[in-house]
Structure 1
Amino acid sequence: MKRYIKSTIGLCLLSLLFISHKSVNDNTVIKLNSDEFNVLMGHQGSLEGSIKYGPNKGNGFSEKDNDIVYGFTDVNDKITWTVEVPETADYLVAIQYTGKEFQGQTPDCTVEIISNGKVLSTALRGLTQYNESRKVAGTRQWFDEVIPLKKGINTITFHFSEISSKQIKAAKEELDNGIPPKSSASIAVKDIALVRPKVWNAMKVRAKELKPDLSWMRDGKYGLFIHWSLFTYPLYGDKQAFETFEWGVNTFDVDVFADLVAETGASWVTFTTCHGMQMFPAPIKTLEKVLPGRTTERDLIADLAEALNKRDIKLLLYYNMSPRGELAAKLGIEENPDKWFQYLNDFAREVSLRYGKSIAGWGYIDSSFSAYVMNMPWEKYYRSLKAGNPDAVVAISSHWWAQYSPFNDLQTSDSGGSLNNPLDKKLFEEGGRYEGLQEHSSFVLDGSWFPKEPFNGIIRRDSNSKGGPTFSEQEYLDYFHKMAKANVPVTVNMLITQDVTRDQPFVNPKSLEFMKKVKIALGK
């Protein structure tokens, strides 16, 4: 028999208990935008009871911050947010949560949101398995009713009204022993979202109208992910690419590279730009203005696009938002995130207009979590990314959490060396974690996205690695066939040297030979 702790507090008493009338500290007030999708992170709320912030509670400017609240064992464990609302209105409410113990099964827990005398209640659904044991999936669940918020200051409180014995046991163990980064065994809260119904419905309509046709990715089956990043090395030498960036750009032979891509049968290339440090292999004025010396005279992206397009191969770009480091310091984004948002829009717009339809879009927008925490206007950014090519694909990675907004096209995440199965199709349906997105998968063929030490003549992850594919040929071929059958495009990462020339290998020869076999096996 299921055992629950049940809330017996009446509605009137709840209203008195959960609505604060004490003075508000301005530093804790979150201003809502009535025309946007608003996110209130767990770490932005005040806590009551035994619950705790995740071990890396931070300001949202670290992708590794564990912005969850965990340890729910009692109905009196509460998170309360204080918000300032520009005008009286009703808001849809969603909760985003996780819990490894409840993946693939129903938590048998009921939660409530309370504000201004209104109580919303919902039974938590089961979490969908992520297909990778070391990562815990999150889910966003909408309440059936709306919450009324008045103009000015409001408080919004979340708590469990029914808690299963399994949740209590898992939460108590974690309160005693702590939780690992990015995960929890018990149900833990990531955030709640607030949006006015007509705003949300209009957003979804506009987003659907802007979706590109991605049949070319499904038909093409697979592409290459090339981390020609600032952290790779030349075939010989111990200086990383960021130390000799201009030399690497000028050395890069786009025709020999494009010939190799054609040999693999890849239909597209996702090419890494601005990986961590903001350095872009072309003369981009927006970046140069903020961080002088981080661009190059040669436009390697234009040259790459021309060489690949001649061979009927599309070029996509990887971009890291870089919410930390020099760019963050220069823009002062912790004090004024709007300045960072404007930079990201200006950069995206300049790049998209510069290359137009010669690039097929953005295959991976990384380190975007901080923008989500700070409530970035995603529609504006989405349109900036497509300014020069309305058909461009946009892949803003939310990893294993729900997508940040309807303005996105391609589901993508960092799956490392794992060969993940196709995800549950329900995740891409209305209300799912990746609603409206094209499913997509990526993995590293050589054991790493980029080398961990100098190559010293052997293209491999490090000196402890043999180099080349990490799984058996048959395991990979079975995977490619499975994904093609499920209409899931795959992007395969191959290690690459900084010096791409005809005079020497620049990818691992064993990896290249394997990709040629994939081309034959998939009939390309």
Structure 2
Amino acid sequence: MKNKLQLSILVLLFSQGMQMVSAQDSQVIDIRSDDFNVLMGYQGNLEGSIKYSPLKNVANAEKDNDVVYGFTDTNDKISWKVNVPEEAEYLVAIQHTGKKFHSAINGGVKPNCTIQLMVNGVMIEAELKGLTQYNEFTKVAGNRVWFKERLPLKKGENIIVFHFSKISEEQVEAAEDELKNGTLKKSSNSIAIKDLVLVRPEIYSKMKERAKELKPDLSWMIEGKYGLFIHWSLLTYPLYGAEKAYKNFEWGVNNFDVEVFADMVEETGASWVTFTTCHGGQYFPAPTKALENVMPGRTTERDLIAELADALNKRDIKLLLYYNMSPRGEVAAKLGIQETPEKWLEYLINFAEEVSLRYRNKIAGWGYIDSSVAAYVLNMPWEKYYRALKAGNSDAVVAISSHWWAQYSPFNDLQTSDAGWSIGDPLDDRLFKDGGRYEGIQQHASFVLDGAWIPREPYNGVIRSDANAKEGPTFSEEEYIDYFKKMDAANIPVTVNILITQDVIKGQPFVNAKSVELLKKIKNKLK
């Protein structure tokens, strides 16, 4: 034991000596002793061949690729300088990606790598597993690996050093290729590091307990079987016309016929509607002070959300809201997301609380919180945000999408992500158990029925994604029915996205009739 400790100290001194000057120049990250702490890979000092080169370099905002890649040698290191308020032990995890190693569970390439963390004379190791565990989609981007041992941090400054202690030939080959040619969009082929998470064990345990107590009863979603995802967003078009909806936002709100819309939803058999608000640009179809105070003119006098909720609720259909944080948008820029990110985070919390208190039980919650990676990077206080989303309705469902990366915190209710047009098998239940990627939340599936979430070009009278796309559903009627039966048997609710026009007016089509007909047949088979 003594020899092992001495060896650890020697390794640590060597490692810290190698980076003493550069570590002094890197940023110091303040650690919160009462919450999750996210340290992005690129926030540390990079040593060796490794690189960080996002495709869109926007500070403190969601990037197309925000991983550190190019690990070809055990001397490639990331070191973070952290300031700790008091001496304590921390649970620690590393989140990684690497698409070459996604299929390890199905006989593909295994990483065959181990990783190591060193701090204050202590060294801990963990083995990397393939990212696609069980039967996850190969689109999964990342995985969080928790170290079994805890990391002791002293009061004041600490330098945490990460490196590979064992590296495979497959990893070296993939990393060298990416150092030469660049990484994939939003991920990498080689093992790359996204972030390190620190949390005190007693804090994490209590967070999980509180989150469990706040979970809503989602049996209504399971019993309801499926709902609609309506991207009535700034990026849709009227049935005829080439201007996107944001050009005439208030016109679209004022002409939206909620009764004819609710009749259509009832016809499909959908038990809920996830309705898009604030997609990309921050426009909200109702009077909302939090947004109006920052960007005047982005709200409307008509409260379309309240009228939609009333029309749907009287047909026994629930309304959920989609909300996009838009970290690259004008609101975030005006609030100074780069200079004062805490103002942007506080705005998100205030906005959520105001909307929840305005509608209370009229809305069943938030079916999709999108573009949330920036908030994760900036250490959003997720419990506070979660409680704000439920301020007016403690039973509201909250679905914060982490886009195939590990969950941000235990404060989430419903798994959701951009599944595209694909229809697949239920995910393995082990993913939702303790330690799984989706621990503690309800499994949920979503896909697009008309080939895309939003139209790629004006409709010109035909509701489809573009002129070259198939008009109507992608798969056969039998394939869809089999899929819904499979999901129903597994108690997995499904949300189906259908295209919609900006002008929802009686007497003209505003959704694809073929999609509605398919959903009616599914209703007859399931309900």
TM range (shorter): over 0.9
Q: Is the CA contact 2:113–2:166 (under 8 Å) kept in the aligned structure 1? A: yes
Please point out which of 460, 463, 468 is paired with 2:467.
463
2:168 match: 164
Q: Is the contact between residue 19 and residue 115 of structure 1 (CA under 8 Å) also seen in structure 2?
A: no
Query: AA paired with 1:100?
Result: K
Q: 1:166 to 1:19 in 2, by over 3 A?
A: same
Distance 1:466 1:199 in 2: 52
Report what 1:232 is aligned to: 236
Deviation at 1:121, TM superposition (A): 1.0
Counterpart selection for 1:330 from 317, 328, 334: 334
Instruction: Provide the residue aligned with 2:206 in structure 1.
Output: 202
The 1:332/1:55 distance shift into structure 2, 3 A limit, reads closer
1:418-429 pair list within 5 angstroms: 418-429=422-433
Please give the root-mean-square deviation of Cα atoms over the aligned residues, in Å: 1.8
Out of 451, 455, 466, which is 1:451 matched to?
Answer: 455
Q: Give 1:471 shift.
A: 1.6
Letter of the 1:202 counterpart:
K
Q: Which residue in the other structure is 2:16 paired with?
A: 19
Q: In structure 1, the residue corresponding to 2:461 is in which secondary structure?
A: coil
Please tell me the residue identity of whatever aligns with 1:187. I
Distance 2:429 2:56 in 1: 33
Following superposition, the deviation at residue 188 of structure 1 comes to: 1.3
User: Cα distance, 1:145 vs. partner?
Assistant: 1.2
Alignment partner, residue 303 of structure 2: 299
Distance of 1:71 and 1:174 partners within structure 2? 7
Which amino acid is 1:399 matched to?
Answer: H
Matched, 1:112 2:129: no
Give the secondary-structure state (helix, strand or coil) at the position aligned to 1:161.
strand
CA contact (8 A) 2:23 2:79 kept: no
Give yes or no for contact 2:282–2:329 (8 Å, CA) kept in 1.
no
In 2: Cα distance, 1:92 partner to 1:196 partner = 6
For 1:223-268, what per-residue CA distance to the aligned partner results, in whole angstroms no more than 9, with x for missing partners? Answer: 0000010111111122221111111111111111111101101010
More deviation in 442-451 or 465-474? 465-474
* Match runs of 1:247-258 below 5 Å: 247-258=251-262
Aligned residue for 1:207, secondary structure, equals helix
Looking at structure 2, the residues matched to 239 and 19 of structure 1 have their Cα atoms a distance apart, in angstroms, of 58
Question: 2:51 corresponds to which residue?
Answer: 52
Is 1:482 matched up with 2:486? yes
1:23 is displaced (CA, Å) by: 7.8
Q: Amino acid of the residue matched to residue 400 of structure 1? A: W
CA deviations 1:363-393 (Å, max 9, x no partner) are 0000000000011100000000000000000
Q: Which amino acid aligns with 2:238?
A: P
Q: CA deviation at 1:514?
A: 0.9
In the alignment, does 2:368 pair up with 1:368? no
Q: 2:420 aligns with which of 416, 419, 436?
A: 416
1:180 to 174, 181, 184: 184
User: Would you say 1:387 and 2:384 are equivalent positions?
Assistant: no
Structure 1 residue 505 corresponds to structure 2 residue 513: no
Q: Distance in 2 between matches of 1:413 and 1:165?
A: 33
Matched-pair contact (CA < 8 Å) for 1:43–1:58: no
* Residues 277, 321 of structure 2: 8 Å contact kept: yes
Answer yes or no: is 1:243 the counterpart of 2:251: no
**Post-superposition CA distance 1:425-480 (Å, at most 9, x none):** 22111111111111111111101111122111111111222321122222211211
Aligned to 1:271: 275
Question: Map of 1:341-356 to 2, 5 A cutoff?
Answer: 341-356=345-360
> Aligned partners of 1:18 and 1:391: how far apart in 2?
50
Q: Distance in 2 between matches of 1:261 and 1:61?
A: 39
**CA distance in structure 1 between the aligned counterparts of 2:78 and 2:304, rounded to whole angstroms:** 50
Say which SS state the counterpart of residue 475 (structure 1) adopts: helix
Given that residues 58 and 67 in structure 1 are in contact (C-alpha distance below 8 angstroms), is that contact kept between their aligned partners in structure 2? Answer: no
SS of residue in 1 equivalent to 2:150: strand
State the alpha-carbon separation in 2 of the partners of residues 126 and 332 from structure 1. Answer: 39
CA distance in 2, matches of 1:27, 1:293: 42
Give the drift of 1:55.
4.1
**Counterpart amino acid of 2:176?**
K
* Distance in 2 of aligned mates of 1:504 and 1:57: 41
Give the number of aligned pairs.
515
Instruction: Give the counterpart letter for 2:394 in structure 1.
Output: P
Name the CA distance, whole Å, in 1 between partners of 2:123 and 2:95.
18
How many angstroms apart in 2 are the aligned matches of 1:237 and 1:12? Answer: 69
Q: 1:330 to 1:91 in 2, by over 3 A?
A: same
Distance 1:67 1:480 in 2: 36
Of stretches 380-389 and 408-417 in structure 1, the one that deviates more from structure 2 is 408-417
TM-score (norm 2): 0.94
Amino acid of the residue matched to residue 88 of structure 1? Answer: E
CA distance in 1, matches of 2:137, 2:436: 18
Does the 8 Å CA contact 1:131/1:421 hold for their aligned counterparts? no
Code of the aligned partner of 1:76:
N
Change (3 A) 1:279 1:456: same
Partner-residue secondary structure (3-state), 2:410:
coil
The Cα offsets for residues 48-95 of structure 1, whole Å up to 9 and x where unpaired, read as 122222443745544343111122222111111111112221111001
The equivalent of 1:4 in structure 2 is: none
1:121 corresponds to which of 102, 122, 125: 125
Partner of 2:74: 75
Instruction: State the Cα deviation string for residues 261-319 of structure 1 (Å, max 9, x = none).
Output: 01101010000000111110100111111000111111010000011010110000000
- Native 8 Å contact 1:379 1:407 kept in 2: yes
Deviation at 1:43, TM superposition (A): 1.1
Cα deviation, residue 158, structure 1? 0.6
Instruction: Give how far 1:10 is off.
Output: 3.1
Q: Alignment partner of 2:78: what SS? A: strand
Which residue number in structure 1 is paired with residue 35 of structure 2?
Answer: 36
CA apart distance, 1:199? 1.0
The CA distance in 2 between the partners of 1:334 and 1:99, in whole Å, is 29
The structure-2 alpha-carbon separation of the partners of 1:143 and 1:385, relative to structure 1 and needing over 3 Å to count, comes to: same
SS of structure 2 residue aligned to 1:492: strand
8 Å CA contact 1:141, 1:431 repeated in 2: no
1:164 Cα deviation from its structure 2 partner: 2.2
Give the structure 1 partner of residue 221 of structure 2.
Answer: 217
- Percent of aligned positions that are identical: 68
CA displacement, residues 21-58 of structure 1 (integer Å, 9 cap, x when unaligned): 54865761111111110011111111112222244374
